[in-house]
Structure 1
Amino acid sequence: MRRVMLMDIFTHPIAQKYLNRSGVAHAISVAEYSVKLALKHDVNPDIAAKSGLLHDIGHYEWYTNGEWDFEKYKKNDIHAIKGAERAHKLLIRLGEERASAKEIALAILLHTDSYLPENSMNKTTLQQIVRMADEMDEEPQGKHHYRKISKDDAIKRIERLDNLIEQLFIDLRETV
């Protein structure tokens, strides 16, 4: 049973603040890709969706003279570290199971190697899924963070994901 729905996360003021900073359209796309990959690799789609949705909530905006500075961002970025902390705190506050909140936070922490030596860690399948889903939605120079989506379209896509995950769990219970 899911204790925290994606809509609970998405509509929370803390999530809204940071999702708007890092790109709502990108976050939702990564959540959608994460679910597809989770189904393919036998990973919990709920945990994957939450990890995908929150994977970039640690972003800081790097500007020089009022313009996005991609090079400054690449050089100084630790968004995965900050995002893991923010996501964990938010999920616990919303009532997510502690083990799930930790698993999601670790997937967020390890979705990028931007602050680690390349391929320096063995990652779980969930951690690999979030990284792959993020890469599937990337655009050059970080432009994926600036794609626009209306609030109504965002809500519809989150509702669709919540409904899909609920149906997957119903189907799983019926086959057991």
Structure 2
Amino acid sequence: MSRVTLQEIFQHPITQKYVGRSGMAHAVAVAYHAFKFAKLYGVHPDLACKAAFLHDIGHYTWYRNGHWDYELYKQNDIHAIKGAERAHKLLIRLGEHPAAAKQISLAVLFHTDSFLPDNSIEREALQQVVALADEADEEPGGGHHYKEIAPEEAESLLVELDRMIEKSAGQYQLAVTAGS
């Protein structure tokens, strides 16, 4: 089974629609942060970067009086739940190994605890990497979702990140067996 690349994920219409809506510049930046954190936590960079890139694919835009309302979003947010489902479906469609798609989707689900009443999650290493990567790019008031990037630049950065992943992947065993 060949590796599904970040470039392939980026080019898919579902990614363009939903990651584009939540902030492509943020998604790319978080994927790069995840690459760094993956090394520190001993996590396979392929899983980390894919989960980080897709972490906000479940965002719903909360509008009030024609403007996106960050406070309304924070009160009603379940984007991690919806995002885990969308990420899994997308990855399976693209040919990702089912066990890897599950791990990535769980990392999308647990990248935030905003949907939980007590705001507490005990994360596995991959999930922690994605949460830290997201936090590393956050800006007050959700400003990280409004950063701009040209589509060509985003794709070029992801192609470079794919190269970095390929280069470093030999150092890690990709655990894609059931139960891993």
Residue 13 of structure 1 is matched in structure 2 by 13
Offset at residue 47 of structure 1 (A): 0.2
Where structure 1 has 5 or more consecutive residues not aligned to the other structure, the ranges are none
Q: Superposition pairs for residues 111-122 of structure 1, below 5 Å?
A: 111-116=111-116, 117-119=118-120, 121-122=121-122
The list of structure 1 runs, each at least 4 consecutive aligned residues, that deviate by more than 4 angstroms after superposition, is 170-173
How far apart, in 2, do the equivalents of 1:109 and 1:150 lie? 27
Offset at residue 31 of structure 1 (A): 0.5
Residue 159 of structure 1 is matched in structure 2 by 159
In structure 2, do the counterparts of structure 1 residues 4 and 79 end up closer, same or farther at CA, with 3 Å as the change threshold? same
How far apart, in 2, do the equivalents of 1:55 and 1:107 lie? 8
Question: Deviations 1:13-66 (Å, cap 9, x if unpaired)?
Answer: 111100110000000000100111001111000000000000000000111111
Residue 83 in structure 1 maps to residue 83 in structure 2: yes
Question: Deviations 1:88-140 (Å, cap 9, x if unpaired)?
Answer: 00000100001100000000001101011222x32101111111100000011
How far apart, in 1, do the equivalents of 2:122 and 2:170 lie? 32
Count of aligned residue pairs for this structure pair: 172
Residue 169 of structure 1 is matched in structure 2 by 169
Counterpart amino acid of 2:139?
E
How far apart, in 1, do the equivalents of 2:169 and 2:125 lie? 20
Q: Structure 1 vs Structure 2: percent identity of aligned residues? A: 56
Where structure 2 has 5 or more consecutive residues not aligned to the other structure, the ranges are 174-180
Contact 2:45/2:169 (8 A) holds in 1: no
How far apart, in 2, do the equivalents of 1:31 and 1:133 lie? 7
| Secondary structure of the corresponding residue to residue 148 of structure 1 | coil
Residue 96 of structure 2 is matched in structure 1 by 96
TM-score under structure 2 length normalisation: 0.92
Residue 147 in structure 1 maps to residue 115 in structure 2: no
